[in-house]
């Protein structure tokens, strides 16, 4: 089938031979942070180096939602449907309230400034989990050069108290993250040290402990190639749909590559959306794409 690569025959029914890859927008600088608002039939996403959050809908096409965006990167919605955004420039995690006001929900740990929160997910207990690598501090292009005050870590924001706790400090460059549909597993991308000659780049998987607030038993899950995993999402059966240099890779819970949706440019992040949550929205470098799949994203 054109536009796909089927590695494992289990992948064949996931894609539709009459559903093309559609380009929804182009001319951006670097896209990230796609998040679907079904109530508005709208996708929000970030044109990161242009310091703006964009919106796309079938009716209105692409337009600016918020500018400046504080160099926002990864995004999600919390259990109340509010937009949660990682900000490189302000070195924080921001919540957009129902009335449009912005609240900083994490910007320091033990008095020290966070680095540059990169990607974020919400858990069913109301907590927010995010990665905090150095990337946004290492260039002016994606936020602003500054010295880090903290190591690269993954954090959890408690839903009730708002307190920040360390989830992991075992990463050189923690990036995308995603829970399995039943939240028993947490996948985290290691993308390594920026500018390192041979960075460690792989997806790791951890068991979420019974209390639901910590992780353990981390191991290598999958190494995306070509390129590396930045952002990724689970479908309803726990398959991982990951960014890669040549498109979106579908990885079984066993860790095996099953197939690919090929794109003309490198993918940084993606999300499920649309009426049935079966349309994959893809942030691929300077362009935004979408494709209907015979798969639904995890709720």
For Mg ion, the binding residues (CB under 5 A) are: 118-119, 175, 230
* Burial class, 199, CB count within 10 angstroms (exposed 0-12 / middle 13-18 / buried 19+): middle
CA geometry: angle 114, 37, 27, nearest 5 deg? 75
Which residue's CB is nearer to Mg ion, number 118 or number 138? 118
In 3D, which of 189, 187, 198, 191 has the Cα closest to residue 235?
Answer: 187
CA geometry: angle 12, 13, 16, nearest 5 deg? 90
At closest approach, how far in Å is the CB of 179 from Mg ion?
Answer: 16
At closest approach, how far in Å is the CB of 61 from Mg ion?
Answer: 25
At closest approach, how far in Å is the CB of 16 from Mg ion?
Answer: 28
Going by their DSSP bridges, the two strands 257-262 and 247-251 should be labelled as antiparallel
Which residue's CB is nearer to Mg ion, number 269 or number 278? 269
Which residue's CB is nearer to Mg ion, number 175 or number 278? 175
At closest approach, how far in Å is the CB of 176 from Mg ion?
Answer: 5
DSSP 8-state code for residue 114? P
At closest approach, how far in Å is the CB of 119 from Mg ion?
Answer: 5
Separation between Cα atoms, residue 298 and residue 280, nearest integer Å: 12
CA–centroid distance for 207 within its chain: 19
Which residue's CB is nearer to Mg ion, number 136 or number 292? 136
* Burial class, 83, CB count within 10 angstroms (exposed 0-12 / middle 13-18 / buried 19+): buried
Which residue's CB is nearer to Mg ion, number 15 or number 268? 268
Which residue's CB is nearer to Mg ion, number 118 or number 168? 118
At closest approach, how far in Å is the CB of 130 from Mg ion?
Answer: 11
Separation between Cα atoms, residue 259 and residue 249, nearest integer Å: 6
């Amino acid at each position: 089938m054109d536009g796909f690569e089927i590695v494992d025959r289990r992948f064949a029914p996931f894609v539709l031979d009459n559903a093309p890859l559609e380009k929804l927008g182009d001319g951006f600088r670097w896209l990230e942070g796609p998040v679907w608002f079904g109530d508005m039939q709208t996708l929000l996403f970030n044109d990161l180096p242009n310091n703006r959050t964009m919106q796309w809908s079938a009716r209105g096409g692409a337009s600016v939602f918020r500018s400046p965006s504080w160099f926002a990167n990864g995004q999600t919605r919390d259990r109340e449907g509010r937009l949660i955004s990682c900000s490189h420039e302000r070195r924080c995690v921001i919540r957009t309230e129902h009335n449009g006001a912005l609240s900083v929900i994490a910007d320091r740990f033990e008095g020290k400034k966070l680095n540059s929160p990169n990607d974020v997910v919400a858990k069913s207990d109301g907590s927010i989990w995010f990665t905090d690598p150095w990337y946004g501090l290492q260039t002016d292009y994606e936020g602003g050069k500054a010295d880090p005050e903290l190591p690269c870590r993954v954090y959890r924001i408690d839903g009730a108290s708002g307190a920040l706790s360390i989830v992991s400090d075992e990463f050189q460059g923690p990036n995308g993250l995603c829970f399995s549909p039943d939240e028993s597993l947490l996948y985290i991308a290691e993308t390594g040290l920026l500018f390192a000659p041979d960075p460690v780049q792989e997806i790791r998987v951890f068991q979420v402990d019974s209390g639901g607030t910590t992780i353990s038993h981390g191991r290598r899950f999958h190494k995306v190639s070509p390129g590396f995993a930045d952002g990724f999402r689970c479908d309803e059966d726990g398959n991982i749909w990951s960014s890669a240099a040549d498109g979106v890779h579908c990885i079984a819970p066993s860790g095996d590559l099953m197939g690919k949706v090929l794109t003309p440019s490198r993918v940084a992040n993606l999300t499920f959306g649309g009426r049935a949550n079966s349309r994959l929205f893809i942030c691929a470098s300077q362009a935004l794409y979408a494709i209907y799949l015979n798969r639904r994203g995890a709720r």
